[in-house]
Amino acid sequence: MTKKTKEKPEEKKNTKTKSNQDKNQEEKVQAEQEVATEEKEVKEEKSEGKKPEKTEQEIIAELNDKYLRLAAEYDNYRKRTLKEKMELTKTAGADILVNILPVMDDFERALGSMQQAKEVEPVKEGVLLIFNKFKEFLKQRGVKEIEAKEKDFDTDLHEAITKIPAPTEELKGKVVDVIEKGYFLNDKVIRFSKVVVGE
C-alpha cells in the first residue's frame, strides 16, 4: 500500500508539469501568431503605398522648392506682360493712323484740284467736306470739342491767355474769345481751351 501512495504524488507532478508545458506552448503559439499578424499588417501597409511621416528637413526642402517655382513663374509672367505692354504702346497708334490716312488722301486730291480750279466755291465745298469727315472720325474716337465762347471761365477746362475789358456787363468773368479750341477724350480733358476772359 505504501508503494501506491508514493506513486500517486509523482503522477500528480507529472500532470502538473504537463499542464504547465501545455500552457507555455499555447502562450508561445499565441505570441508567434501576434507577431505574424503584425508583420502581415506592416507588409500590407507597404504594399498599399503608405509612406512614413516626412521629417522636418524634407518638409522645409519641399516648401522651399514650391517657393522657388512660384517665384520663377511670377518672374516669367512679369517679363511677358512687360513685353506685351511695350509691343502694345508701339502699335497703339496704328489703328488711329490707318483711319486718318483716307483724310490725308482727300487733302491730296483737294490740293491737286486747287491748282486746276478756276472757281473758288467748289474748292471751299471740297475742303469743308474733308473737314466734316475728319470731325466725324474724331467724334467716333471719343474726341469732343470743349464749348468755351461766352461760357463762365472754368480753370478745369480753360486756360486764360489774357484778360480784356468786357464788351458788355453779361460777359464779365466769361470767355470773350477762343484762341485755341480745347478737346475732351471720353470726358477727360486732353487739351485746355486757350481763351480771352472779360473783366
Residue 62 belongs to a domain = no
Range of the domain at 163: 144-199
What is the rounded CA–CA span in Å between residue 152 and residue 58?
74
Does 9 have pLDDT greater than 90?
no
Residues 168 and 185 in one domain: yes
Residue 133 belongs to a domain = yes
Per-residue pLDDT averaged across 132-152, rounded?
88
Q: What are 121's three cell numbers?
A: 466755291
Domain termination residue (choose one: 113, 141, 169): 141
State the pLDDT at residue 72: 95
Helices (H), 143-190: none
Per-residue pLDDT averaged across 82-89, rounded?
87
> Which has more pLDDT, 45 or 14?
45
State the pLDDT at residue 24: 65
Residue 66 belongs to a domain = no
Tell me the CA distances in angstroms from 46 to 40, 116, 143, one per residue in order. 10, 99, 74
Query: What is the number of structural domains in the chain?
Result: 2
- pTM score > 0.75 for this model? no
Per-residue pLDDT averaged across 144-151, rounded?
87
Q: Among the listed ranges 25-34, 68-77, 104-113, 114-123, which one has the minimum average pLDDT value?
A: 25-34
Cβ-proximal residues to 171 (8 Å cutoff; 6+ apart), any chain: 150, 198
State the pLDDT at residue 35: 63
Cβ-proximal residues to 72 (8 Å cutoff; 6+ apart), any chain: none
Tell me the CA distances in angstroms from 97 to 25, 93, 139, one per residue in order. 102, 6, 15
> Which has more pLDDT, 77 or 153?
77
Percent of the chain with pLDDT over 70: 79
State the pLDDT at residue 4: 46
Domain termination residue (choose one: 108, 141, 174): 141
Residue 8 belongs to a domain = no
Q: What are 49's three cell numbers?
A: 503605398
State the pLDDT at residue 147: 87
Does 51 have pLDDT greater than 60?
no
Residues 134 and 164 in one domain: no
What is the rounded CA–CA span in Å between residue 63 and residue 173?
69
Q: What are 58's three cell numbers?
A: 524634407
Supply the CATH number for residue 192's domain: 2.30.22.10
20-34: pLDDT as tens digits = 666 667 777 777 777
151-183: pLDDT as tens digits = 888 888 888 998 988 888 888 888 888 899 899
Residue 23 belongs to a domain = no
What is the rounded CA–CA span in Å between residue 69 and residue 57?
18
Residue 54 belongs to a domain = no
Residue 197 belongs to a domain = yes
Neighbours of 194 (CB within 10 A): 17
